[in-house]
Structure 1
Amino acid sequence: MADIAPAHLIFYILLSYLVAAFCLNYALTIADRRAASRRSRRTWSWLAASALLGTGLWLASFFSLPAKGLPLAADRPLMIAVLIAAAALFGAHLLLLLDRNNRGEASDSLSGLPGRIAFEKSLQQAISNAEGDGLPFAVMFLDLDRFKNINDALGHDVGDHLLQTVANRIRECVADKARISRLGGDEFAVLFRPGLSKDSLLLAAGHLLSDVARPLFFGETEIHLTTSIGISMYPTDGESPVSLMKNAEAALYSAKAEGKNTLRFYLPAMNDNLRESVLLETDLRKALEREEFYLVYQPQISAITGQVVGVEALLRWNHGKKGLIPPSDFIPLAEETGVIVPIGDWVIRTACAQSSQWQKQGLPPFRVAVNLSGRQFLNKGLVPFVKRTLLETGMDPSNLELEITESMTLDIERSFSTLRELKQLGISISIDDFGTGYSSLSYLKSFPVDCLKIDQSFVRELLSETNDRSIVSTIINLAHSLNLRVVAEGVESKEQLAYLASFGCDEIQGYYVSKPIAEKDIPCFLKRSS
């Protein structure tokens, strides 16, 4: 076998390095293809030229390889060429990595907007400029409401499409008066130019709320998004990037806590509320093991006969130190943090066990309705868990009703499959808060559901609002045309009951019937109502 000259050995090492570097960078660039810049394309041109040069020299040296190495005189030009190729390749590789790193700091590959680091630098520059001219400016944080539910239901491709669309809408709305960045996930930041009045900021924020709320389409799927907005002002709400961003985020959380799809300017008390929310989340994660949760049951009666036909299980939290925590305070937090899944499983198991206990006490059979959270419904383990729970508690499946909301059915195919599997267990399904979401009637008729529950917002104004009466009547007629049962929630008066009965509503639930009561009081209530 011929001896290999040192120059050739270097060529072999170079070529191996070239191939490995080329493959690695190709994979990284494919992953980051949406953010490709002119500079990275120039760098790739250098890499390609280096590859051609190195390969050509290697082939030339291979075909001129002597039996026992090249003479020294012939080695010198070859070694010089090797060094040039190595320097070109190393330089191009280094430029590419630096380019990718700089772009990673400066921009977000999905939306094409500047990223968090670039935003912080712009904010620091704005503060430095404001110290000279004295003009105030605003920092705005936007966060999409319930985006994770949509992302989980429809997939990350749809989620990415939505984020890109929202980024474009924000650009169109405020690009002439602000710098826009994507901080990560579904959170965006807007740095407004100095000197804008509060009225101008309110107008811009209002336009953003309405623009984001316009329907989005992915194929044939229509999706409705909203956003919450928090605003902090320099210098009144902070004089550093950290304080301004922290306070804009506190205002954002306040907007979410107050119902979402709204905006809030920062107030000092908001940081206390945010701190309280963090502490509440910590306690929420421990509430199950501390056995601080319990269930109450709100009766449902026939609108015609007045007989009890079912109860709805409702979750309550008796905090060890703070006492009763309103569901409106902890359930959204549990949903957001994911703690709702184990809590929801506990609710199903407890309600099923209680139903079996009532049957053992000789009570007549009646439905027990349990609300499913969005995360529970999307959990692949839901159906096996329900099946196992029914077996372990001995509950008759026909007595269990699971309630979902319209927003959980965005992924039609997945929703249909889950609902069908649940129905095969022998349980019933109802759509809660019907009329407040965006159900497609063409899919509703094919969904394996048994009941529609009219949201209490329509029932509340039933006596005074003609529109609400029309909506309620339409929902009842629609449900009956699909052979579905109808339950009206939030009934608080005899007059409301009379209207609902005249429309043909099947069942009612609300304080006119009974407030939610403890499980030990259900037997007495049944006896009185019969």
Structure 2
Amino acid sequence: MSALVAWNSGATTAGLLWFAASCVPNSFRMMLCRLPETTDPAAVDRRLRLHSAAALSSGLVWAFIPTLCAGYTSPQTLFYLIVVSGITAGAVTHGFAYARIPTGFITPPLLSAAGCLFYAGGFDRVCLGATVVLYLAALIRACREGEGLMRETSRLKNEATFLATSLEGAHDAATEIAEEMTRRASRDALTGLLNRSGFLEEAERRAAIAQSPLSLLLLDLDGFKAVNDTYGHKAGDNVLIEVARRLRLTLPSSFAVARLGGDEFAVLFEMGLVDVNPTLLAHELIAAITIPFAAFDAGRIGVSIGVHVSTAPAIDEMLISADAALYAAKVAGRNRCYVFDAELAHHIAMRRDIERDLGKALAEGGLEVWYQPVMVDGGARFGGFEALARWRHPRHGWIAPPDLIASASLAGFGEQLLRFILSDVCVTILAMREIGLGGARVAMNVSPREMSQIAVDELVLKDLKARGVPPSMLEIEITEETALDIQAVRGKLAALSEAGVSVAIDDFGVGYSSLGALRRLRVDRVKIDRIFVEGVSRSTENRSLVLAILSLAGPLGFEVVAEGIEHEDDLETMRELGCKAFQGYLIARPMPRNEALRWARAHANAMPARPAPRR
């Protein structure tokens, strides 16, 4: 427009030259604006200097506007002053972020205008020139304030961005830590499988959304304690790690697999989602785990598995049922699985009722102690009793002594039951002395839990002394499981033995008793379990085992009693093998005290006084 006005006023040549000169810096500035963006501080600084120089060169071109209007004295002066004022104000508005660029552009044309007005003279022109100078100062001040505000805004924005980034990073770190803590809280550190807490949480989640029955398998390693004792805990840890690896390789990834603690593992899956039979899967896991470990003898590590399938899954109930099935599998032997069935369900219900009602029965005298005779000298004469606790439950009838003792132990009534049986036994022993049976013994069972947790020796010896009962007439029966934990029971049994109380191992042959345990515990009597006695007349294997036990009796100095004698042919076979003491229904069933005493007196055959047990 300035060039057009110059042409119209007759300054065509000057207007064209000025227009051409102004296009050069403008073209350079346009080129700078189209360069690719950069975040390199040095490059940004160089570009800003180039922009400032280009703006100054453009401003210098505009400083020659007076050549088009006779030094702002021609009639076109008003037009050019308005244009210069407009473009300088626009430059300041557009370039507020960096003051050097607009300042470099506006200063030359405004100083040129003011100078020309001052030179032309006259009151109006001088005042107008002064106004232009004030206008320039105001624009420069506005440029600097604009840049200051922009810098402050940028600083605050950068700080906010940095703070937001820091907060985001802190949140991500906190989330990662929380996830790691959750993972560690739900995972077993040794095997990487779910731990008990993580498994229960996962099981509850699956039970809540299950559309088909859930199957739970509980696994317990066979022979793991022997590995720990023989090879050390490091080897035991390696076994657990290898078992976990084999489970992961055998099972689909969708199954929940956990190490519940010790050498116990669990597997849970929804049957409708996979075509897997739980029993077949259990046998497949047994086959995988029983593959020989490189560091151990073949067959040293095995596994027992309890299986439970539930159509209305309640995890606590499933665990109880699977645990009962696991116990049944262990009783059956190594590398077995057992599926929870109606019989086990009834057994669990019965045990719950026993545990619930036992305390009341003990307090109200609802329990009885019956006595089963033991015959010695080949079955020719009476040799003593075994005391058996009995209870007629109002719902389940007579409770078998093993179930009663186990339930009492689990319910916390073990010591109370032990005291009750001991009290009754003491009364029976005193009655036996009165009728001339002072050479016989009365045996009472002590469970593994009570043997390890209660000061049985102090309790028994104190009661015997208070009642005036000779220790030689009492026998304490322990299981092979108790005998294995020699460190926990040896001192107690030694104290009892020193006082004259006999020690017997009950159900011998089904556990893992060693010759060393028999020797160190100074056992007086070993009772062969009924599973080896029943059918011994027809089983070569059972006869061989009985002969092996009998062959140890002499060197180790203990008496052997055959339990579970119910058939005449088994009795005769045991006699032929050399066994001289028997107990079982063929001999006599358990009886109440008075009836048992009459029976014993009738079968005493003027029994001579019995020597004190071997010490």
Q: TM-score normalised to the size of structure 1?
A: 0.68
CA distance in 1, matches of 2:565, 2:390: 21
**1:139 aligned to which of 208, 215, 218:** 215
**1:435 aligned to which of 487, 492, 509:** 509
1:168 offset after TM fit, Å?
4.3
Aligned letter for 1:139?
A: S
Partner of 1:465: 539
Residue pair 1:170, 1:208 contacting (<8 A) in 2 also:
no
Check if 1:451 corresponds to 2:536.
no
**1:480 aligned to which of 518, 533, 554:** 554
CA distance in 1, matches of 2:292, 2:503: 28
Q: Which runs of 5+ in 2 are unaligned?
A: 1-162, 606-615
Q: Which runs of 5+ in 1 are unaligned?
A: 1-82
**1:102 aligned to which of 172, 182, 199:** 182
1:460 offset after TM fit, Å?
0.5
**2:279 aligned to which of 202, 222, 237:** 202
Moved more, 162-171 or 316-325: 162-171
Aligned letter for 2:283?
A: G
Residue pair 2:307, 2:326 contacting (<8 A) in 1 also:
no
Partner of 1:115: 195
**2:325 aligned to which of 247, 255, 259:** 255
Check if 1:394 corresponds to 2:464.
no
CA distance in 2, matches of 1:111, 1:289: 47
Residue pair 1:334, 1:340 contacting (<8 A) in 2 also:
yes
Counterparts in 2 of 1:478 and 1:318: CA distance versus 1, 3 Å: same
Partner of 2:306: 229
Alpha-carbon RMSD? 4.4
SS at 1:445 equivalent: helix
CA distance in 2, matches of 1:109, 1:323: 48
SS at 2:477 equivalent: strand
CA distance in 1, matches of 2:240, 2:322: 17
1:502 offset after TM fit, Å?
2.4
SS at 1:436 equivalent: coil
SS at 1:113 equivalent: coil
Within 5 Å, give how 1:54-93 maps onto structure 2: none
What does the per-residue CA deviation read over 1:473-522, in whole Å, with 9 as the maximum and x for residues that have no partner?
A: 11111112212111111112333232222222131111121111111013
CA distance in 2, matches of 1:342, 1:210: 44
CA distance in 2, matches of 1:244, 1:167: 29
Check if 1:348 corresponds to 2:433.
no
Counterparts in 2 of 1:307 and 1:111: CA distance versus 1, 3 Å: same
1:96 offset after TM fit, Å?
9.6
Residue pair 2:215, 2:270 contacting (<8 A) in 1 also:
no
Residue pair 1:299, 1:310 contacting (<8 A) in 2 also:
yes
**2:489 aligned to which of 406, 415, 421:** 415
Partner of 1:39: none
1:266 offset after TM fit, Å?
6.0
Residue pair 2:308, 2:318 contacting (<8 A) in 1 also:
yes
Partner of 2:37: none
CA distance in 2, matches of 1:335, 1:437: 20
1:457 offset after TM fit, Å?
1.0
CA distance in 1, matches of 2:588, 2:290: 37
Partner of 1:280: 354
**2:565 aligned to which of 466, 491, 514:** 491
CA distance in 1, matches of 2:173, 2:365: 59
**2:440 aligned to which of 366, 374, 388:** 366
CA distance in 2, matches of 1:339, 1:232: 32
SS at 2:444 equivalent: strand
Residue pair 1:319, 1:325 contacting (<8 A) in 2 also:
yes
SS at 2:378 equivalent: coil
Counterparts in 2 of 1:526 and 1:170: CA distance versus 1, 3 Å: same
Partner of 1:35: none
Within 5 Å, give how 1:332-347 maps onto structure 2: 332-347=406-421
Residue pair 1:251, 1:265 contacting (<8 A) in 2 also:
no
**Percent of paired sites with the same residue:** 28
Counterparts in 2 of 1:320 and 1:358: CA distance versus 1, 3 Å: farther
Residue pair 2:286, 2:302 contacting (<8 A) in 1 also:
no
Counterparts in 2 of 1:398 and 1:123: CA distance versus 1, 3 Å: closer
Check if 1:376 corresponds to 2:446.
no
Counterparts in 2 of 1:232 and 1:480: CA distance versus 1, 3 Å: same
Aligned letter for 1:393?
A: R
Counterparts in 2 of 1:203 and 1:285: CA distance versus 1, 3 Å: same
CA distance in 2, matches of 1:448, 1:187: 34
Residue pair 2:203, 2:315 contacting (<8 A) in 1 also:
no
Partner of 1:406: 480
CA distance in 2, matches of 1:492, 1:364: 28
1:440 offset after TM fit, Å?
1.8
Counterparts in 2 of 1:120 and 1:356: CA distance versus 1, 3 Å: closer
Counterparts in 2 of 1:139 and 1:371: CA distance versus 1, 3 Å: same
CA distance in 1, matches of 2:292, 2:357: 37
CA distance in 2, matches of 1:485, 1:445: 13
CA distance in 2, matches of 1:308, 1:223: 43
Partner of 2:315: 245
1:118 offset after TM fit, Å?
3.7
CA distance in 2, matches of 1:278, 1:403: 26
Counterparts in 2 of 1:305 and 1:251: CA distance versus 1, 3 Å: closer
SS at 1:467 equivalent: helix
Residue pair 1:139, 1:189 contacting (<8 A) in 2 also:
no
Partner of 1:45: none
What does the per-residue CA deviation read over 1:44-85, in whole Å, with 9 as the maximum and x for residues that have no partner?
A: xxxxxxxxxxxxxxxxxxxxxxxxxxxxxxxxxxxxxxx9xx
What does the per-residue CA deviation read over 1:86-107, in whole Å, with 9 as the maximum and x for residues that have no partner?
A: x9xx999978974674145421
1:295 offset after TM fit, Å?
0.8
Residue pair 2:510, 2:529 contacting (<8 A) in 1 also:
yes
Counterparts in 2 of 1:126 and 1:395: CA distance versus 1, 3 Å: closer
1:423 offset after TM fit, Å?
0.8
SS at 2:309 equivalent: strand
Aligned letter for 1:191?
A: L
Residue pair 1:251, 1:264 contacting (<8 A) in 2 also:
no
Counterparts in 2 of 1:304 and 1:188: CA distance versus 1, 3 Å: closer
1:316 offset after TM fit, Å?
0.6
1:172 offset after TM fit, Å?
1.4
1:297 offset after TM fit, Å?
0.7
SS at 2:602 equivalent: helix
Aligned letter for 1:287?
A: A
**2:588 aligned to which of 496, 499, 514:** 514
Partner of 2:397: 323
Aligned letter for 1:526?
A: A
1:357 offset after TM fit, Å?
2.8
Aligned letter for 2:318?
A: A
Aligned letter for 1:511?
A: Y
CA distance in 2, matches of 1:474, 1:446: 19
Residue pair 2:250, 2:288 contacting (<8 A) in 1 also:
no
